[in-house]
Amino acid sequence: MNSIPRRDPRRPFVMTAAGIRRTLTGRGDDAIAAVTGVAAPAGPPLRTTQAPARHLLVLVRSLRGALDEPARRCIAAAALIAAADTAVVVGVLGGTQEDLAVCGADVVATLDHDADAFAPEYELAQVCALLGRFRPLHVLLPEGATGELGRRLAVRQGAGIATGVVELGASHAARWQPAGNGERRLAVCRPLPPIVLLEPEAAESRLPFVGRGERLDWQLLVPGTQVVRDLGITRLDAAEVPLQEANLIAAAGNGVRDVELFSRLARALGAATGASRVVVDDGRLPRNRQIGATGHSVSASLYLAIGISGAVQHLQGIKDCRHVVAVNLDPGAPIVQRADLSVIDDAGSFMRALLARLTEGA
């Protein structure tokens, strides 16, 4: 057995009053007290007990009331750079009932949001109202689904913005930029601009402290300028939806021998179809359906893996999926270890049974 101790490269840290980053070698109260000078109660302590004089604002979106990992990491990043007299305010487009105190949130506000409508000006008007309420020092947003809102906000406010940030401090942000010959280097931006768009690797969501987690009891019902006209939703066939945008994906592995049956099941589920590399190499599904390190990386809410063993390259491509259901004959397969729910069964038998249930009474 290898006796060399392994350390987590992203282990928790706190910022001292002098702005110095102190890494915690343990999660115990003694380690935290040694840095902060305050004896901590049982369990994770509050980040600060001071009355807030300033604020940091984090804007995130929820999907059916749940926050994804990049959103949680963005909240944690704000908590890590916040001073003792600074509260972390989180505005959630769509709202959530999750306990965001564990991510470092001190105040949680729900921003009215219609997931089925495209109303960017209405969202922006709500955000501007929230800015007027708290006048935050900085606004943090995760890159991706919320990144567009951050860019619109920068234009509306005439404010500076840092995008693609992979390193964040109380007074600086850093992002990768090309340096020639295929190399890249960290470009540091000082001082920290008013609006910051964070990449997921900028922070970890695990913290050695918690926020207050107070719910802001108010409604931001503000009129938005009708600059953009919503023409409604165009329903696409699931097969036409890009895998990176699909909410439900059914993926076939080497255990799927009947591709026609698999396709009929995907249509009945309304799912986009994906495949492992071996299925694509065999010509059973086209190359643009491949999921994994050498194919597409996906972030579906539900990923149904049928007959997929779960090679490390494939698991890398589905690491951002919220729920994974695996169908496999081998209970020790890597995909089973990754899955939230596993069905130990033959792929063909499972597909026929599920398709029969879906088409009952049709």
Domain over 238-358 is classified CATH 3.30.1330.10: no
Neighbouring CB atoms inside 10 A of 137's CB total 16
CATH number of 46-215: 3.40.50.620
pTM above 0.85, yes or no: no
- Can you tell me the mean pLDDT for 347-360? 93
60-72 pLDDT tens trace: 998 778 898 899 9
Report the pLDDT averaged over residues 6-26.
Answer: 55
DSSP letters, 194-207, are: SEEEE-GGG--S--
- The sign of the dihedral angle between the CA atoms of 267, 269, 270, 275 is negative
Q: What size, in residues, is the chain? A: 362
Distance CA 225, CA 244 (A): 31
- For residue 87, the SS3 value is strand
Rounded-to-integer distance, Cα 144 and Cα 93, Å? 14
Domain extent listing, the chain: 46-215, 238-358
Does pLDDT of 266 surpass 70? yes
Section 301-318 average pLDDT: 94
Count other C-beta atoms under 10 Å from residue 330's C-beta.
13
For residue 51, is pLDDT > 90? yes
Token pair 């505005």 in the structure block, residue: 91
Q: Cα separations (Å) of 70 from 89, 205, 249, 294? A: 17, 9, 21, 22
Determine how β-strand 107-111 pairs with β-strand 214-215: parallel
Instruction: Tell me what the pLDDT averaged over the chain comes to.
Output: 85
Same fold across 46-215 and 238-358:
yes
Tens digit of pLDDT for each residue in 160-207?
999 999 999 999 999 988 877 778 888 998 899 999 999 988 998 889
